[in-house]
Structure formats: structure tokens, C-alpha cells
Amino acid sequence: MAIRTILHYPDPRLREKAQPVPAVTDETRILIEDMAETMYAAPGVGLAAPQIGVSQRVFVIDIATEDEPSNLMAFVNPEIVSREGEQVWQEGCLSFPDISEDVKRADTVTVRAMDAEGKPFELTTDGLLAVAVQHENDHLDGVLMIDKLGMLKRKLVHREMMKRQKG
């Protein structure tokens, strides 16, 4: 296992649409392990493969708090098949360090994917897990948190990230 470098906005690789995983292999499982280790080290609750420069449709999520046991979930080739309701959640993103903004998302989602063993599953969820699934799934399509903000907030976040990049 290895901690990988997380790409920060405005890295253009974050805008690329990730490619489907043809089959879950040992390489896929190593990627998932590396992603989990990277996410925990950051720390974060989710990480998509494009955030570490890998153009594959894979993300990991663990919304367990520090006093709860880990509940790592891997999603390979995920597809959100239904969305219901609406919620606003204060979201952060490992590609936008130290920035959090209110983002409007569906309240309940159903996602179909494969797990780290290649077994298909379907999950219907709400709350933080629904937000995380939608957030990470967006990364697979090159859609970023900043894209969900109003024009003024988008400009402010963009400006802040550009300042940090220059350094």
C-alpha cells in the first residue's frame, strides 16, 4: 500500500472523464488499497481515482467517525440509478484543501457498482453517505464541487485556489 499524491484544483486531469474498469483485478485492488490509505492520511471521507491521477471509474468512501470502526466501501464502475429529494450539505474536497461550501444534492440516491472483489451490489442511502456517493461519482465525470456553486462563490474559490497554486 502507498499514499498517493492528491491532485489539487485547477489540475486539468480533474476535468477528465474516467474510463470504465474492464474487470476487477489485483491491480484494481491495489489501487483501492492505495486510495483508502491516501484518503485516511489526508484525512477525508471519500476519494475518487481521478483525484490521484488515475483515469478509472473507482472511488472509496468511509464516513465512520473517529470513535466508530472503519466502514470502507469501494465502488467500481458506479452508476447512480435514482435520486430523490434535496438536501444542502457543507462539503469539502481533498482537491480543494481547507475549503468547504454548501452544495445542493439529492437527499436519497441508489447506486449500482462492483465492490473490491468484483461483486455487483446496489445501495440506497441518504445523509452524508448519499452526499459522498454523489460527490465522488461527480469526480468520475470530471465534475467538481466548484461546479455546484453559484457564480460568485465559484469565482472566490477559484481565486483562492489559484493563489495557493502560485504559493
| Span 13-57, pLDDT tens digits | 999 999 999 999 999 999 999 999 999 999 999 999 999 999 999
Does residue 122 have an active-site annotation? no
Cell triple for 22: 474492464
Go through the domains of the chain in sequence order and give each one's CATH number.
Answer: 12-166 (3.90.45.10)
Q: Is the pLDDT of residue 166 over 90?
A: no
Q: Which of 16, 33, 101, 136 is catalytic?
A: 136
Give 103-107's long-range contacts (Cβ < 8 A, gap of 24+). Answer: 103/131, 103/135, 103/145, 103/148, 103/149, 104/148, 105/130, 105/131, 105/134, 105/135, 105/148, 106/130, 106/134
